[in-house]
């Protein structure tokens, strides 16, 4: 279902006009209300009047994560604190957290884009919606909450964790839609199985995001939970979840470009790439009031698709994130993305989708170990076939990435599960 | 003549093995044979015990990865040449041995556990040559 027909199906020309107007308003706003952006623009000798259309975006400076950290907590806000009605912060694993501030209108925008997201997957006010994203400073829980509520679904604000209770409520309340990280969804699937609840559930849809996940992981979740699994994309700096979402065609994610203007740049040259080319995703918010961001570099790699989508929406689509320019590992001189490893493991299907990468340096050479859990149903008791499985996985990974890992088969449940974003890499090398 | 052997996937971690033996012991399950096949990262425990089905349920419940395999247990007199004789018979009849383990004390019949590639054929061939195979009931209760 299309939640907002006029905006989601607007023609390219009309969208451009809308974006032009909104960009001009936003540039005015940040120039006059944010010392940070005014200083940046003055450095480049740019005035708001120099920005007339979205083609003028290239004249504007970029914003990066460290800008938010360096101006912690409220340095990037463009509204006085009296107008900020909500503060969120993302976990700062290194350094200070990223803080976002929202005005009342921002919260309304956020609910709107989230309602579009869930409606696109088929949710209606008849659905029973279980939100297993953490509620609190993390944007996932409350973001999903207000969107599902606007949509009219019956929201269960259970937050993350307390897995047994999650399954109990799923069974007792007849949950039809689940929203959480894909790795937690896998954990829930295991718990559902352990508790023998598989046939007692009414799950129909899953909306998963906040961490990267492959199409193979999608198939795994759809099979295990008997649902249709939808990808959702967002980031705290731009809003939270709700920046982009899949429709029933699942051919990339529609970006809510009437609110978040996307660009793809070459991360090395910082220039816009040719249409359709892969590069770094950049966003300019054009309706946010509390903390608008100009040309925010996400470090996520993808490409944009402007061709027609069978769902009828005309908004531009982004491909599933292909990797991050900073999650990328360089092992023995070769670029490796954890998602490549995940794809191979899930393609094989003979091990569980739980793995962890260990990288170290021994005698000046990088070592690369992959721990992957065996699947009880694939254990024949035969040593040869187990060793063989390890070797076959090693061979396939080698052909995909170009270097050979050591694959170690480990017992089921021995790799740490997470209720939020899964940490799949331990890099013990001291590289900097 | 088919003996059920339990195979357990065990990571090469201290204490993992005793967890298994503790669980089995507390459940009153008696062990008849116990060996480990090892590799650098993990091992496979091979156990013949008094109640293979219960043991499997018990260990699975406690998070172990287990499966049951069919093996045979051959009796041979504990004198030189008897094992060779048995293995020759198998080899002449194209029965391959995947693995085996055996033990004997002085003045005792040797017990030889064999995992053949084709268990029905193995049993048929050995019985045809009048070799003695243990019945499952001689090793454990059903």
- Tens digit of pLDDT for each residue in B6-45? 999 998 888 889 999 999 999 999 998 999 999 988 999 9
Higher pLDDT, A432 or A154: A154
Specify whether B90 is located in the same domain as B38. no
Give the total number of structural domains in chain B. 2
Residue B116 C-alpha from the chain's centroid: 11
DSSP string, A157-218: ---S--HHHHHHHHHHHT--EEEE-HHHHHHHHHHHHHTT-GGG----EEEE-SS---HHHH
Q: Which of A271, A297, A325 is the last residue of a domain?
A: A325
Characterize the bridge pairing of strands B42-49 and B31-38: antiparallel
Over residues A390-394, the mean pLDDT reads 94
- Domain membership flag for residue A233: yes
Are both A36 and A108 inside the same structural domain? yes
DSSP A87-128: EEEE--SSSSPEEEEE-HHHHHHHHHHHHHHHHHTT--TT-E
B36 touches chain A (CB under 8 A): no
Beta bridge partners of A177: A129, A205
Find how far residue B92's CA is from the centre of its chain: 23
List the CATH number of the domain containing B93.
Answer: 3.30.2130.10
Surface-to-core class of residue A115, CB atoms within 10 Å of its CB (0-12 exposed, 13-18 middle, 19+ buried): buried
Distance, in Å, from the CA atom of A424 to the CA atom of A322, rounded to the nearest integer, reads 16
Residue A396: which residues within 8 A CB-CB, separation 6 or more? Answer: A344, A347, A348
Task: Using the 3D structure, point to which of B24, B40, B70 is the last residue of a domain.
Answer: B70
Residue B140 inside a domain? The answer is no
Q: Decide if A246 contacts A230 (C-beta within 8 A).
A: yes
- pLDDT > 90 fraction of chain A, expressed in percent and rounded: 73
Q: A377 vs A242, which has greater pLDDT?
A: A242
Q: What is the CATH number of the domain that holds A57?
A: 3.40.50.12780
| ipTM surpassing 0.85 | no
Which residue of chain B comes nearest to A371, CA vs CA? B41
**Around Cβ B3, how many Cβ atoms within 10 Å?**
24
- For B11-22, b/e burial (b = at least 16 CB within 10 A) is beeeebbeebee
Give the model's confidence band at A178: pLDDT under 50 very low, under 70 low, under 90 confident, else very high: very high
- Does A411 sit within 8 Å of B11, measured CB to CB? yes
CATH number for the domain harbouring residue A386? 3.30.300.30
Q: Considering A325, A345, A361, which residue would you say is the last residue of a domain? A: A325
Claim to verify: residue B46 and residue B79 sit in the same structural domain: no
Q: Are residues A192 and A333 in the same domain?
A: no
What is the distance in angstroms between the Cα of A382 and the nearest Cα belonging to chain B?
8
A167 lies in the same domain as A215: yes
Q: Virtual CA dihedral for B133, B137, B140, B142, nearest 10 degrees? A: 140
Per DSSP, A276 falls in state T
Looking at the fold, whether A145 and A215 belong to one and the same domain comes out as yes
Q: Do B82 and B100 sit in the same domain of this protein?
A: yes
pLDDT at A95: 66
What pLDDT shows up at residue B14?
83
Burial profile A203-238: b = 16 or more Cβ within 10 angstroms, e = fewer: bbbbbbbbbbbbebbbebbeebbebbbbbbbbbbbb
Domain count, chain A: 2
Inter-chain residue contact B9 with A383, CB threshold 8 Å: no
Query: What is the mean pLDDT of the segment spanning A112-129?
Result: 98
Cβ pair B46:A381 closer than 8 A? yes
Which candidate, A383, A313, A319, A389, places its Cα nearest to that of A119? A313
Model confidence at A94: pLDDT above 60: no
Average of per-residue pLDDT values in chain B: 91
pLDDT score, position A336: 81
**A432 in a domain, yes or no?**
no
Q: Is A122 left (phi over 0), alpha (psi -120 to 50) or beta?
A: left
Q: Are residues A346 and A316 in the same domain?
A: no
A325, A350, A368: which is the final residue of a domain?
A325
Lowest mean pLDDT among A266-270, A304-308, A325-329: A325-329
A83 SS3 class? helix
Q: What is the pLDDT of residue A392?
A: 94
C-alpha closest to that of A182 among A225, A150, A147, A152 = A225
- Establish if B142 belongs to a structural domain: no
Q: What is the pLDDT of residue A419?
A: 78
Task: Give the three-state DSSP class for A378.
Answer: helix
- Contact A379/B42, CB-based, under 8 Å? no
Same domain, B63 and B76: no
One domain for residues B18 and B63 = yes
Domain end point (choices B52, B70, B88): B70
Burial of A152 (0-12, 13-18, 19+ CB in 10 A): middle
Give residues with Cβ within 8 angstroms of A176, minimum separation 6: A123, A126, A127, A128, A129, A202, A203, A204, A205
Chain A: residue nearest B46 by CA?
A381
pLDDT score for A157: 98
| Predicted local confidence at residue A14, as pLDDT | 97
- Domain span at A341: 329-427
- If phi over 0 gives left and psi between -120 and 50 gives alpha, with beta otherwise, what is residue B31? beta
Same domain, A293 and A343: no
Residue A325 has pLDDT above 90, yes or no: no
What does the block give as tokens for A100?
């976002």
Question: For residue A420, what pLDDT band results from cuts at 50, 70 and 90?
Answer: confident
A413 in the same domain as A348: yes
Whether the CB of B65 is below 8 Å from some CB of chain A: the reply is yes
Q: Is residue A359 part of a domain?
A: yes
Average pLDDT, chain A: 92
Establish if A196 touches chain B: CB-CB under 8 angstroms. no
Domain containing B52 equals 3-70
Provide the percentage of residues in chain B whose pLDDT is more than 70. 99
**CA-to-CA distance for A428 and A431, rounded, in angstroms?**
9
């Amino acid at each position: 279902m299309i939640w907002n027909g006029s905006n989601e199906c607007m023609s390219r020309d009309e969208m451009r006009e809308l974006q032009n107007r909104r960009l001009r308003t936003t540039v005015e706003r940040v120039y006059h209300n944010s010392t940070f952006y005014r200083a940046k623009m003055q450095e480049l000798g740019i005035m708001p009047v120099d920005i007339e259309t979205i083609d003028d975006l290239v004249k504007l400076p970029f914003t990066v994560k460290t800008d938010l950290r360096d101006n912690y907590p409220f340095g990037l806000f463009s509204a006085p604190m009296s107008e900020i009605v909500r503060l969120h912060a993302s976990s700062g694993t290194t350094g200070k957290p990223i803080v976002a501030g929202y005005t009342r209108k921002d919260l309304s925008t956020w609910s709107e884009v989230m309602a579009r997201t869930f409606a696109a997957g088929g949710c209606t006010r008849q659905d029973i919606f279980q939100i297993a994203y953490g509620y609190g400073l993390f944007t996932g829980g409350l973001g999903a909450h207000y969107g599902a509520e606007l949509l009219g679904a019956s929201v269960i604000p259970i937050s993350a964790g307390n897995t047994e209770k999650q399954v109990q409520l799923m069974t007792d309340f007849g949950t039809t839609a689940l929203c959480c990280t894909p790795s937690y969804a896998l954990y829930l699937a295991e718990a559902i199985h352990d508790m023998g609840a598989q046939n007692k559930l009414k799950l129909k849809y899953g909306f998963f995001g906040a961490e990267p996940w492959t199409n193979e992981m999608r198939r795994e979740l759809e099979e295990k939970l008997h649902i249709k699994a939808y990808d959702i994309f967002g980031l705290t700096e731009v809003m939270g979840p709700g920046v982009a979402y899949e429709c029933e065609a699942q051919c990339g994610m529609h970006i809510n470009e009437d609110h978040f203007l996307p660009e793809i740049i070459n991360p090395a040259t910082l220039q816009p790439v040719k249409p359709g080319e892969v590069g770094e995703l950049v966003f300019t918010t054009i309706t946010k009031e509390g903390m608008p961001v100009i040309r925010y570099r996400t470090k996520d790699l993808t490409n944009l698709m402007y061709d027609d989508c069978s769902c009828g929406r005309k908004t531009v689509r982004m491909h599933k994130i292909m990797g991050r320019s900073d999650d990328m590992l360089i092992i023995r001189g070769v670029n490796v993305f954890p998602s490549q490893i995940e794809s191979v493991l899930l393609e094989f299907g003979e091990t569980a989708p739980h793995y962890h990468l260990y990288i170290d340096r021994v005698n000046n050479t990088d070592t690369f170990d992959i721990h992957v859990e065996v699947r009880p149903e694939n254990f024949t008791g035969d040593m040869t076939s187990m060793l063989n499985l390890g070797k076959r996985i090693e061979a396939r990974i080698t052909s995909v990435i170009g270097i050979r890992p050591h694959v170690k088969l480990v017992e089921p449940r021995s790799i740490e599960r997470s209720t939020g974003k899964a940490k799949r890499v331990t890099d013990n090398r001291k590289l900097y | 003549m088919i003996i059920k052997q339990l195979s357990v996937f065990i990571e090469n971690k201290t204490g993992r093995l005793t967890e298994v033996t503790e669980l089995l012991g507390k459940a009153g399950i008696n062990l008849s044979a116990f060996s480990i096949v090892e590799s650098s990262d993990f091992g496979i425990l091979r156990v013949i015990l008094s109640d293979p089905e219960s043991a499997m349920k018990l260990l699975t419940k406690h998070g172990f990865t287990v499966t049951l395999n069919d093996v045979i247990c051959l009796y041979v007199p504990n004198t030189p040449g008897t094992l060779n004789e048995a293995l020759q018979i198998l080899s002449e009849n194209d029965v391959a041995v995947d693995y085996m383990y055996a033990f004997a004390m002085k003045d005792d019949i040797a017990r030889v556990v064999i995992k053949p590639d084709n268990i029905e054929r193995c049993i048929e061939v050995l019985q045809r040559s009048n070799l003695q195979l243990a019945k499952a009931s001689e090793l454990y209760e059903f």
